[in-house]
Structure 1
Amino acid sequence: MHPPNFDGRSDPKAVEDWIQDIEEIFRALECTDQQKLWFIAFKLTGEAKRWWNSEKAIREAEGTRMIKVPQFKIITLCTYPIPNEEKKAQKFEEGLNHKIYERVIVQQIHNFSELVHQAMLVEQNLKKGAELQE
């Protein structure tokens, strides 16, 4: 169980393979979310490590929560050049949680930034709804 490091410069297929390798390790070891983040950060090098350090610094300065593993996966897959906005948005949709996906897909959003924004709003609303039910 020794996945390669991730430098952030691989092609999209290599990124997907790396994420699948990491997820297999997480399942086998039954890692907590915090352990997953530590392991991912440990396996990042070069451009990816710089991005991670920048992301951490921004979130700490803003007082926002640290990125979670599903967000890391989506962001990582979406940072690679995809020919146009519609294809990039489609790739993002494919990586969404099912509950978020079914609420966002009906909106037929083809702009990547707008789609990310809507997905985040849906996620926040789902969390608020779950908290109210508790």
Structure 2
Amino acid sequence: MVSNQRSNASPSGDTTTPLQEKAPSVSYQQFMTMQPPVFTEKGNPDKAKEWIEEVERIFGLLKMPEEDKVNYGSYLLKGDAKNWWQSTSEIRDKKMQQFLDLQQNQLSLEEYITKYRHLEVYCPHLYTTDQARAGKLVRGLRDGLRSKVLTSRPCDLDEAVTMARCIEEDCARSQKDHHKKAG
């Protein structure tokens, strides 16, 4: 039910500030006229997959804004499926807060990147552009590494990760060379 929007350069050619393309909202009546299927199955992954595909198709036809998909989709859950969804709400909220609070601190860079990517899936609606996702990752880096990656101005998450890795490797190599010369 979720996909990431990609950033666009502004008309002036400035790539630092992505345009926010806001999809028009879809009313409840518009959504329901498409006769979306209700999901009540318990423990049936094939039925769940079919339901998700059908609801995604309706979202696509209506050009449903990302921020509305979860609300509209979860409304179609009934019975055991609704109970399951409500019980996972608390878990999703905790994971989202962990993502918002995530900082590298004492984690290695690889541990931080892994944790970032794991937690990011719980809140794709918070950082919807490539540049915003990269910015969130960079802001959580340790001070020295953060400032160096920031000056590189990464455009997307993969570029930010690559830059952080390269800068960290370069710093480690420099320290190693310094210790060889000093020793």
Q: Which one has a bigger Cα radius of gyration?
A: 2
Question: TM-score, normalized by length of structure 1?
Answer: 0.49
